[in-house]
Amino acid sequence: MTDSPTRYPIRVYNTLTKTKEPFETIEPGRVGMYLCGPTVYAEAHIGHMVGPVIFDTIKRYLAFCGYQVTWVVNITDVDDKLIQRSQQRGISMFQLATQMTADYLSNLQSLGVDQIDRMPRATDSIDEIIAFIEELIQRGFAYESEGDVFFDVAKDPEYGRLSNRSADEQQGEGGGAASRKRSAGDFALWKSAKPGEPSWPSPWGDGRPGWHIECSAMSRGILGKTFDIHGGGLDLVFPHHENELAQSRCCHGQPMVRYWLHNGLMRASTEAGKVGGRSERDAGTEPNAGAEPATVTDAVSGKISRSKGAGGLASLIARHTGERIRFFLLRSHYRSTTIFGDEPLLEAGTALEAFYRLFDRFQRITGKSVYDLPFASRRADFTTPSIPNPLVSELLPLRESFLSKMDDDFNTGGATADLFEMARAINRFIDGQSLEENKSPVGIEALQQGMQILREMAALLGIFLKPVPKSSSDDSSGKLVGELMGLIIKLRADARVRKDFATSDAVRDGLQAIGVAIQDGKSGTTWQVKS
RNA sequence: GGCUCCGUAGCCAAGUGGCUAAGGCAGCGGAUUGCAAAUCCGCCAUGCGUGGGUUCAACUCCCACCGGAGCCUCCA
């Protein structure tokens, strides 16, 4: 019973054609996917996580549909900014890159991004890069000029198609390179080294790769000359992806990529940057940037920008948990601009709490952790229960709805609606069967089967995979705390039996004040630490 | 100036040429509760920026305008 991916009507929006197209792989059942990763010269900010989270989700989904996916994310560890920043800090470029790569990786881990197969570094690929440049020169698409090598944009009639621009309107890179270029739009493939800069020997003298060439060289090395999906932020469409595309197509005489997928950018929710509000530009007032402690934004536009010093993702994750941030990112469509701030993140957390409470409830009834439940990892593996299960019958249409939204350009925002509907159906089932009071084996079995469906769908989004550390059911809260709470609840229950509500309410209010919420249910009192 | 994209209830946010325009947060009623909380049920956009046009029919297509964002230089 192999799963044939072609049976699923997946459609993706392709930036190159500006339309949604049926997803068909080059090689049946296999997907090569490349995402432009970070230039590791500074700490990551939340905007850098949009791509990794959505592509992580895309990979999970494609794998679920039966594809064998190879996902590559590159690390740009040589670049002008890296050199500049490392000199400022008095460390080597390699030290800086190592530190910032570690920061990036830990952020990915916090957000549950663990599907990446290969993370090649530019500096590990110098030989491939040089070989690629040599091929371009041989084919007449690049030229050497005083130790630099440039791509000759004029030689590529298709240049500009991805970003819908014509080559002659380009300003090109600034600096002193202009005099060495044939035309302004030409971009560097190889940059000659100035004294003291990190460099590698090449046929054109010591130097380093230009920005775009590494992606062409590394994607070819791992995924081949033509591969299925290339992704990145919308801001990379021009010039980065346009240039990559030109290099690879001209070098190989075949298309580089089947589908170009671009995620929307993130904006901070400053007063001025608010959608519908007046822009700072028009208002002509001095912007007050830095309202968000975790990010520094471009004061004029509200855009999150690392060049303005944005970063501090780690503290944001500490405040909100990685799962909350991930869920927040997946609640809207990946191509849309997302407004980011503490408020929307808090709201995502509130929404998530309902699921966590359901999971606690599940554990009280079944004695099992939701996180230990098995679930189908392939779309075709799902089998309906042999015994009629009213809960599963209710959940299956929601599962179909969820999957059809994911089929449609990975509409995670639409799909989350079905997750909420599932949670409601499960709660309704528990209420209707009074499962917390009379734990009927038939009901419990039905509940578990139902919960597996919710779990299966959530796993596609990369959420609810493991317990959130703050949950009271988690032993990280401490055994002692659990025992103390047990004692407090027992004493309070005694007070309630005596109808001494003044005492019981005082206990509840007191706990509330220190961040512990309690609920009196029919089968006892539950509690959790509020985040 | 050129090129893209967006404008859906108090807020966030899916979606569609034609049945009752998802879901979440907040709010309001009800069930439940000693009271709460949680959970469940119900309510909450005669309308999808504004004005035209195409069409039997548009929120969905086209045009104009207003407002917002991005790219055109490094940027996820």
**CATH number of the domain bearing residue A334:** 3.40.50.620
Give pLDDT, residue A34. 97
Q: Is the CB of A164 under 7 A from strand B?
A: yes
Local confidence pLDDT in tens for the 531 residues of chain A = 455 766 789 999 999 988 899 999 999 999 999 999 999 999 999 999 999 999 999 999 999 999 999 999 999 999 999 999 999 999 999 999 999 999 999 999 999 999 999 999 999 999 999 999 999 999 999 999 999 999 999 999 999 999 988 766 666 655 567 778 888 889 999 999 989 899 999 999 999 999 999 999 999 999 999 999 999 999 999 889 999 999 999 999 999 999 999 999 998 765 433 332 223 322 333 333 333 333 444 433 467 777 655 667 888 898 899 999 999 999 999 999 988 888 999 999 999 999 999 999 999 999 999 999 988 889 988 777 778 899 999 999 999 999 999 999 999 999 999 999 999 999 999 999 999 998 899 999 999 999 999 999 999 999 999 997 654 445 555 778 888 888 999 999 999 999 999 999 999 999 988 888 888 988 889 888 876
Strand B, nucleotides covered by protein (CB < 7 Å): 2-6, 8, 12-16, 22-26, 33-41, 67-76
> What is the C-alpha separation between A174 and A178, in angstroms, rounded?
7
Q: Do A311 and A403 belong to one domain?
A: no
Q: Do A444 and A480 belong to one domain?
A: no
Nucleotide nearest to A522 (CA to C1'): B33
Q: Is the CB of A428 under 7 A from strand B?
A: yes
Ranges of H-type helices in A156-301: 213-223, 242-252, 280-283
Q: Contact A415/A402 with Cβ under 8 angstroms?
A: yes
Integer distance in angstroms from CA A57 to C1' B59? 30
Integer distance in angstroms from CA A398 to C1' B40? 19
Q: Is the CB of A238 under 7 A from strand B?
A: yes
Q: What is the number of residues in chain A?
A: 531
Q: Do A241 and A317 belong to one domain?
A: yes
> What is the C-alpha separation between A457 and A398, in angstroms, rounded?
10
Q: Do A451 and A509 belong to one domain?
A: no
**Structure tokens of A344?**
């929307």
Which residue minimizes Cα–C1' distance to B70? Answer: A235
Residues linked to residue A433 through DSSP beta bridges, in sequence order: none
Q: Do A450 and A485 belong to one domain?
A: no
> What is the C-alpha separation between A56 and A45, in angstroms, rounded?
18
Domains identified in chain A, total number: 3
pTM value? 0.91
Nucleotide nearest to A307 (CA to C1'): B75
Residues 250-289 of A with CB under 7 A from strand B: 263, 265-267, 273-282
Q: Contact A206/A192 with Cβ under 8 angstroms?
A: yes
**Structure tokens of A126?**
């110098």
Q: Is the CB of A350 under 7 A from strand B?
A: yes
Give CB contacts under 8 A, 24+ apart, made by A423-431: A423/A354, A423/A355, A423/A358, A423/A454, A425/A391, A425/A394, A425/A395, A425/A398, A425/A450, A426/A358, A426/A362, A426/A391, A426/A395, A426/A450, A426/A451, A426/A454, A427/A358, A427/A361, A429/A390, A429/A391, A429/A394, A430/A361, A430/A365
> What is the C-alpha separation between A136 and A321, in angstroms, rounded?
46
Query: What is the span of the domain harbouring residue A64?
Result: 5-138+213-340
Of A460, A492, A517, the residue at which a domain comes to its end is A460
Question: Does the residue A157 lie in any domain?
Answer: no
Give pLDDT, residue A283. 31
Give pLDDT, residue A144. 95
Give pLDDT, residue A170. 64
Q: Do A232 and A260 belong to one domain?
A: yes
Give pLDDT, residue A287. 32
Q: What is the sign, positive or negative, of the torsion defined by CA atoms of A395, A400, A401, A402?
A: positive
> What is the C-alpha separation between A77 and A42, in angstroms, rounded?
11
Q: Do A331 and A381 belong to one domain?
A: no
Q: Do A503 and A455 belong to one domain?
A: no
